[in-house]
Amino acid sequence: MDVLHTPREEGISLLHRAQRLLRQLRRWKTLHDQRHQLASLSDAMLKDIGLSRADAEREASRPFWDDPGKPL
């Protein structure tokens, strides 16, 4: 019997990988939505939060997988 790779442990590992994937997909969806919302703000709203239209467009143009919260 291989004590390092029991079917139960492999199932748990698969479950953890699936959960991690779902968390990542949710994070990407959130980033996409936030960037879309940022792009739709008026110039006055952007000024209120200290951003220019160019700043907002630059952020909104980033791909969904480009996560500023993820360590390099």
Q: Which of 61, 72, 60, 66 is nearest to 28 (CA)?
A: 66
The pLDDT value given to residue 69: 84
Contact 35, 62 (CB under 8 A): yes
Q: Which of 71, 20, 41 is nearest to 59 (CA)?
A: 41
The model's pLDDT over 24-70, given as tens digits with 9 standing for 90+, comes to 999 999 999 999 999 999 999 999 999 999 999 999 999 999 998 87
The pLDDT value given to residue 70: 77
Q: In the predicted model, is pLDDT for residue 3 greater than 60?
A: no
